[in-house]
Amino acid sequence: MSGSPLISQQSLLREQISIFGRSLFDRGLTMGSSGNISVRLENGGWLMTPTNACLGRLDPARISLLDGEGRWIDGDKPTKEHFLHMAMYAEQPRSGAIVHLHSTHSVAVSCLPDVNPCDCIPPLTAYYVMRVGKLPLVPYHIPGDPALGDAVRGLAGQHSAVLLANHGPVVAGKNLEAAVYATEELEETAKLFLLLRGENPRALTPEQVAELEAKFPKG
């Protein structure tokens, strides 16, 4: 039947969004109606979690459908932070999914006054470098401010993840699984970074980071 492959892809991705959303919620990486997830469709459109939706209780059939221009065409109204996703996709054309959370340890790092705004977390582990890389800090904007999209767009071309000041991370990946895993790696490394503050931890050297980036390119 004409169109059935696309319908099948959408059904699968809707289920994946619901499964990963519930996993993130059940493990305390998102709470209440915070956080949002999106995936790119083969036809150039997007699926996106709805506004005020709990990631732990998503109804796959009600996940928002957007067309190739980012216009809402079906399902519940998309997250009010949809512009963050669109800004990341515009600068990350090979990315297939984006996860934005208000995860506790990542948000804590975003509130610190003395983090390096060009790279908020040092390269403490190989897997952090492989899955996240450098993490720039986006200056604070009120939630829903379209100017935040412009600020993200200015950094997303060089980085697959950004940290919104006093807000949380936005992480892109080649597919939904990769984006979720990178978000989880970021949260665990943020926790590790906070545990090690004041301890002068040994980070990976620039040479070790370069070796990882060459052997395990992201995207």
Paired sense of beta strands 137-138 and 161-164, if any: parallel
Q: Listing from the earlier edge strand, what are the strands of the sheet with 46-48?
A: 72-74, 64-66, 46-48, 36-40, 97-100, 168-173, 161-164, 137-138
For the segment 28-48, the average pLDDT, to the nearest whole number, is 95
Of 127, 140, 188, 213, the catalytic one is 127
Q: Assign 218 a pLDDT band (cuts: 50, 70, 90).
A: confident
Of 81, 184, 185, 187, the catalytic one is 81
Q: Summarize pLDDT for 137-170 with one digit per residue, the tens.
A: 999 999 888 899 999 998 988 899 999 999 999 9
Q: Assign 45 a pLDDT band (cuts: 50, 70, 90).
A: very high
pLDDT at 113 over 50: yes
In our burial notation (b when 16+ CB lie closer than 10 A, e otherwise), range 77-113 reads: ebbebbbbbbbbbebbeebbbbbbbbbbbbbebbeee
Mean pLDDT taken over the chain: 94
Residue 188 is among the residues annotated as catalytic for this protein: no
Q: What residue ranges define each of the domains in the chain, with the CATH number in brackets?
A: 4-215 (3.40.225.10)
pLDDT at 2 over 50: no
Residue 102 and residue 182: Cα distance in Å, rounded? 15
Taking the CB of residue 174, how many other CB atoms lie within 10 A of it?
A: 16
Percent of the chain residues past pLDDT 90, beyond the cut = 87
The CA R_g of the chain, rounded to the nearest whole Å, is 17
Mutual angle of helices 176-196 and 4-26, in 10-degree steps: 20
Residue 18 and residue 52: Cα distance in Å, rounded? 15
Q: Summarize pLDDT for 117-126 with one digit per residue, the tens.
A: 999 999 999 9
Residue 81 is among the residues annotated as catalytic for this protein: yes
pLDDT at 68 over 80: yes
Q: Which residues pair with 72 in a beta bridge?
A: 66
Residue 215 and residue 219: Cα distance in Å, rounded? 13
Q: Assign 7 a pLDDT band (cuts: 50, 70, 90).
A: low
